[in-house]
Chains A and B, each alone.
Chain A
Amino acid sequence: MAPCCNKKTKLLTLPLSCLYPSCETVAELRPVDIRTPGELGPLMEGVLWYVLSGTRGGPNRARILKALKRRPRNANQLAEDLDLDYKTVRHHLDVLLDNGVVDNTGGDYGSVYTLTDRTEQYWDTIEEIIAEIE
């Protein structure tokens, strides 16, 4: 981890890991992350709505989110726990990552996936969307 939070450092020059534990550089910070929750509301709901019920992989993505809600896991564990193909899980995780629904920590393989704060914040919406899965 980068040396953190020197009192004289201006906010903008702080390592991002101080603010967002999963981000090391500015490049990793998605533009939407700096909006306030109020602005994010409809946007995030739209993303979740589309990703979970409008697409071919939607139901499996919902199962992945449910599993990650219970505890963070890596792609391998998800494939095993949900009885899905490893490649399928990787694809879904990439889509969820692209849409800012999940985050991953660590390196390439074996890296652990968690729900983003935003996703946690909208968990009620997700539950509503996936009311009857499993």
Chain B
Amino acid sequence: MAVWMTAASVASALNVVVLLVLLSVWTRNYLAVGSKHALGLTVFGSLLLAENCLSVYYYVLDPEVAVLLRSAAPVAGRAMTFVAILELGGLLFLAWISLD
């Protein structure tokens, strides 16, 4: 289980990095343009960032949850890893079109 939890943590941490890049673009656009669309993207990015920060916290740092997850059956960690990797794929694609 510990291996999968490490993989899920790394994927979530990467999500945080990509989201920070996206948010830097969207926040700057919101400040420059002031449109509701840019605001929407900024809010969306912030909430997704919070979700991923929370994931990393639970997987790595939370004294109760992290310990519990590491001692759980590997299937759970594997499932969490897949979800985080799919999200990473989506975010990378979004970053690709947004950095154009």
Contact = CB atoms under 8 A, between A and B. Distances in A.
Contact of B33 (A50, A53, A56, A95): A53
A49 B37 contact: yes
Nearest to B99: A56
A104 to B, nearest CB: 19
B34 interface: yes
B97 to A, nearest CB: 7
Contacts of B29: 53-55, 58-59
Contacts of A53: 29-30, 33, 35, 37-38, 41
B100 interface: yes
B99 A58 contact: no
B32 interface: yes
A62 B42 CA distance: 18
B25 interface: yes
B34 A131 contact: yes
Interface in B65-84: none
A52 B30 CA distance: 11
- Helix, strand, loop or mixed for chain A's interface? helix
A85 B53 CA distance: 38
B41 A54 contact: yes
Interface in B1-40: 25-26, 28-30, 32-35, 37-38
A56 B38 CA distance: 11
Contacts of A52: 33, 35, 37
Given A55-B29, A132-B33, 8 more contacts: A52-B35, A53-B35, A53-B37, A54-B29, A55-B99, A55-B100, A129-B33, A129-B37
Interface of B: 25-26, 28-30, 32-35, 37-38, 41, 97-100
28 contacts: A49-B37, A52-B35, A53-B30, A53-B37, A53-B38, A53-B41, A54-B29, A54-B38, A54-B98, A55-B29, A55-B97, A55-B98, A56-B28, A56-B98, A56-B100, A58-B33, A59-B28, A62-B33, A95-B100, A129-B33, A129-B35, A130-B33, A130-B35, A131-B35, A132-B33, A132-B34, A132-B35, A133-B33
